[in-house]
Amino acid sequence: MVASPVRRITVRVLTYLGLAIGLVYAAFPVLWMFLSSIKSNTEIFSLPPTVLPREFTLAAYDAIFADPEKVRFFINSYLVASAVTVVTLLVAILSAYSFSRYRFRFKKTLNLFIIATQTVPPITLLIPFFGLVVALHLYNTYFALILTYMVFTLPYAILMMTGYFNTLPRELDEAVKVDGGTSGYVLWKVLVPISVPGIVATGVYTFLLAWNEFLFALTLTKTTDMRTVPIGIQLLMGQHAYEWNQMMAMSMLGSLPILILYLIAQRYFLAGMTAGSVKS
Amino acid sequence: MSARSQTKPVHTMTTLKVREGFAPYLYQAPTAVLMAVLLLFPIITVVRYSLFDNVITNKHPVFVGLANYFNILTNEVFWTSLFNTLFFTVFSVVFHLIIGLGFALLLNSKVVNSIVKGLLRVFYIMPWVFTVTIIAIIWRLLLDPSGVVNYVLEALNVTNTRPEWLSSTELALFALTFVNIWAGYPFYMVSLLAGLQGIPTELYEAAEIDGANEAQKFWSITIPQLSPIILSIAMLDFIWTMQVFPLVWMTTGGGPIHATEVLGTFTYKQAFASYQFSVASACAVIILVISLCMAFFYVKHQKVRD
């Protein structure tokens, strides 16, 4: 069946129209955030609204960098997210190695348990976590966040790393084992060095999850100097409800690490995104 | 371990076998300990809390059976929250699917240059990259009564009443659902695009020989081929969306007058605003049970796919 030229052109026009509408829908809010962060506060609500700033200003960014309280939010977020990423990767690599290379009792049960963990609501865990963290004298510390974040980063990391190890040929470790290498040797000296792409993908995704967390950070920390970026933004919204340019600048800075990771490691993000729904 | 193996590479067969027998369990040990402390123990604790009175605030809580559940189920706000949560979730899931599939089909279109598609894909995934708090704040600015959304609507002559999207009891829930739809469709788009690329082209070629038109191809090849993926992401999305908290907390806080109260904010307020930890625990258990029912079907579906 040969499509007529008229129909072909119509299909083409409609497709491009759809893509353009999609672009506006997806990107306009983000663009607006950026543009608002470099406008003055009065210009943000001027009528009619300006798209490009009449007068370009970095005052909002200066205000944030000049305030040690706000800079602290970023330091906290970087510290917590980095620590969570390192610990998660270590634990997940061990577990994934076991899932990928061994047959053992309860393997299926444990695997199902890990898949099911993704569905446990954080709000259900919050109240016992609060009790646990207070009892362990970890309330309002980094450790409270690092420990509790593991509950949602670990299942993902294990599924992603198991998937990656499964793509590596078993003959590789069999050969090393025949030469007398222990399983630890196989893991750290053979598998891990060639799994760098998988580890990066898992690490990037873990960092993202930890960076974005809100509920536990809201509840398990208390003083302003222990708050992470998402909570910092909320505090800012309460304190200076009308300083929209500062809030937008803070949001830009808060998205920056993720945005950079996303732009340079796009396919790793996609790997993390589909890890939950695609077969493990 | 690796350092030791280099200095002492020779093992007798028996020690090696014993060590290998334990190895998988040893490697799972840190995970098992963490999952016990962070998952099993908290779940047991929250169930126990829900059966006692005045936990956390009182050192000697009293066993009250199901009184906390009774308390919740007779609370009108709980039912409002449940209804709002379901409304929010069902509409989010349906529109995530429609928009996600639409974008996936556009990005899979043969008439568009692949560099353009690659570039657009970067932008289409954008909403998913941002933290919920940032999404909340962006949309608070956009949806402000004197914000740009109302300006555009006025310019297009849709409305000139300057609706207060997030602070009107009639509109707030719709507005929040709209924002959540924007924030969540990329997850579907990415999964469905991968699914579309995995459909064998022979299927379409065979259908063309039989004279099928585009609509027939879509409904009898594309959709059936994608349905396992659709089912699994929709179930996950349903579970996750039901747990919504930060978006509501950061935009409306559940208000005005419970108009956007969801199970998450309701539970949180019971615990950390009213210090009714027992009642909050009962509510948390109810949310868990709903999630686990969904999770049961999800895990079952995943097993079937394997």
Alpha-carbon Rg for chain B, nearest whole angstrom, is 26
Name the B residues in 59-98 with CB < 8 Å from any A CB.
none
Nearby residues of B162 by Cβ (< 8 Å), 6 or more positions away: B145, B146, B150, B154
Question: With b meaning 16 or more CB within 10 Å and e meaning fewer, what string describes A222-244?
Answer: eeeebbbbbbbbbebbeeeeebb
Query: Residue type at B206?
Result: A
Pair A218, A133: CB distance under 8 Å: no
* CATH fold of B71-305: MetI-like fold (1.10.3720)
Q: Domain count for chain A, please give it.
A: 2
Least confident of A26-40, B41-55, B143-157: B143-157
Q: CB-based contact (8 Å) between A126 and chain B?
A: yes
Q: What is the pLDDT of residue A39?
A: 84
Q: CB-based contact (8 Å) between A170 and chain B?
A: no
C-alpha separations of B52 from A136, B68, B78, B288, B289 in Å:
22, 8, 20, 18, 19
Please give the Cα distance from A92 to B193 (Å, whole number).
28
* Residue ranges of domains in chain B: 13-63, 71-305
Task: Calculate what percentage of chain A has a pLDDT beyond 70.
Answer: 94
Q: CB-based contact (8 Å) between A259 and chain B?
A: yes
Q: What is the pLDDT of residue A54?
A: 79
Taking only the tens place, the pLDDT of each residue in B86-111 is: 999 999 999 999 999 999 999 988 88
pLDDT at B285 over 90: yes
pLDDT at B176 over 90: yes
pLDDT at A74 over 90: yes
Q: What is the pLDDT of residue A280?
A: 32
Pair B147, A47: CB distance under 8 Å: no
Taking only the tens place, the pLDDT of each residue in B128-138 is: 888 888 999 89
Residues of B in contact with A278 (CB under 8 A): 191, 194
Name the A residues in 173-212 with CB < 8 Å from any B CB.
180-185, 188-189, 211-212
Contact A276 B292 (CB under 8 A): no
Q: Quick one: A67 and A171 in the same domain?
A: yes
Q: Is residue A11 in some structural domain?
A: yes
> Token pair of B49, please?
């809390």
Q: Is residue A197 in some structural domain?
A: yes
Pair A126, A188: CB distance under 8 Å: no
Please give the Cα distance from B133 to A231 (Å, whole number).
8
Q: Quick one: A28 and A97 in the same domain?
A: no
pLDDT at B185 over 50: yes
DSSP state of B260: T
Q: CB-based contact (8 Å) between A122 and chain B?
A: yes
Q: Quick one: A150 and A65 in the same domain?
A: yes
Q: Quick one: A9 and A72 in the same domain?
A: no
Residues of B in contact with A115 (CB under 8 A): 298-299, 302
Interface test with chain B among A182, A240, A274, by most B beta carbons within 10 Å: A182
Interface size, chain A vs chain B, as Cβ–Cβ contacts under 8 Å: 286
Q: Is residue A72 in some structural domain?
A: yes
| Greater pLDDT, A4 or B40 | B40
- A171 to chain B, closest Cα gap in Å: 17
The ipTM, to two decimals, is 0.85
- Domain housing A14: 5-37
Q: How many CA atoms lie within 13 A of B61 on its CB side?
A: 18
Q: Quick one: A29 and A66 in the same domain?
A: no
Q: What is the pLDDT of residue A2?
A: 55
> Token pair of B173, please?
């829930």
Q: What is the pLDDT of residue B306?
A: 58
Q: Is residue A280 in some structural domain?
A: no
| pTM score, whole prediction | 0.87
Query: Average pLDDT of chain B?
Result: 85
Taking only the tens place, the pLDDT of each residue in B194-245 is: 889 888 888 888 888 888 888 888 898 899 999 988 988 898 899 889 988 9
| Greater pLDDT, A96 or B211 | A96
Q: Please, what is the Cα angle at B257 between B254 and B262, to 5 degrees?
A: 30
Taking only the tens place, the pLDDT of each residue in A243-264 is: 888 888 989 998 888 888 888 8
Q: Is residue A144 in some structural domain?
A: yes
Q: What is the pLDDT of residue A144?
A: 93
- Confidence band for B286, pLDDT divided at 50, 70 and 90: very high
Question: With b meaning 16 or more CB within 10 Å and e meaning fewer, what string describes A171-187?
Answer: eebeebbeeebbbbbbb
Q: Quick one: A115 and A26 in the same domain?
A: no
Taking only the tens place, the pLDDT of each residue in B235-273 is: 889 988 998 898 999 888 887 888 899 999 999 998 888
Q: Is residue A52 in some structural domain?
A: no
Q: Is residue A130 in some structural domain?
A: yes
Q: What is the pLDDT of residue A278?
A: 43
Q: CB-based contact (8 Å) between B126 and chain A?
A: yes
Q: Is residue A88 in some structural domain?
A: yes
Q: Quick one: A30 and A136 in the same domain?
A: no
pLDDT at B9 over 60: no
- Confidence band for B10, pLDDT divided at 50, 70 and 90: very low
CA–chain centroid gap for B153, Å, is: 30
Q: Quick one: A96 and A221 in the same domain?
A: yes
